[in-house]
Amino acid sequence: MRLAIIVAMAENRAIGRGGDLPWHLPEDLRHFKRLTTGKPIIMGRRTYETLPVALPARLSIVLTRDTAWRPKNIDPAAPPASDGTAVRIAPDLDTALSLCPEDAEEVFIGGGAEIYREALPRVDRIYLTLIHARPEADTFMPEWDESAFRQTSRRHRPAQGDEPACTFLTLDRIR
């Protein structure tokens, strides 16, 4: 099982502002959906609460220390929907990983900053959308040892209207 971070990060390491993304890039949202559909995704409670609904066709595992917390509009004890949509709750990353199907080829870490910080030493891959802007933000991606990863994929998208340019990168850990 490959453990992968998926993140959109600005040049100033910004990843969030006021519980939302500091930009609107439909192509990045499509990229996220294409990569994560059908695969487990682990995220923190605050990140999960920014979603309008549970992510369709994915097992979302929400990390929270609040044992009384429950997601809106979906029962975490219910079996997965026919498309695989399900939400589970875990108190820590190890428990979250144990909730992933044994045959999962790839498991995603979807934020926020605290979850990324905890997962970074363990991940095999980083799917990074580098936003070519420096927006105001209150949440930032933690630093990582860039020398421990090599770039295996790169695709640049120029600015379009009000949308900043971005580069879609895949970084694999050097073993």
Give CA 19 to chain center in angstroms.
Answer: 14
DSSP-assigned letter for residue 19: T
Q: What is the pLDDT of residue 72?
A: 84
User: What residue ranges do the domains of the chain occupy?
Assistant: 2-173
Q: Which residues contact 57 (CB under 8 A, 6 or more apart)?
A: 37, 38, 83, 84, 85
Mean local confidence (pLDDT), 103-129 = 97
Contact call for residues 54 and 37 (beta carbons, < 8 A)? no
User: Which pLDDT tens digit goes with each residue over 140-175?
Assistant: 999 999 999 999 999 999 999 999 999 999 999 998
CA 91 to chain centre: 18
Residue linked to tokens 């820590």: 92
Residue corresponding to tokens 């073993």: 175
Q: Which two tokens stand for residue 142?
A: 């933690």
CATH domain 2-173 topology = Dihydrofolate Reductase, subunit A (3.40.430)
* Separation of alpha carbons 57 and 157, rounded Å: 27
Q: What is the CA radius of gyration of the chain?
A: 16
Which residues, listed in sequence order, are joined to residue 173 by a DSSP beta bridge? 149
Q: What is the pLDDT of residues 3-20, one digit of tens each?
A: 999 999 999 999 999 989
Q: Hey, what are 91's tokens?
A: 């108190």
Measured in degrees and rounded to the nearest 5, phi and psi for residue 67 equal: -70, -15
Express each pLDDT in 53-90 by its tens digit: 899 999 999 999 998 999 988 889 899 999 999 999 99
Torsion sign (Cα): 128, 15, 134, 31: positive
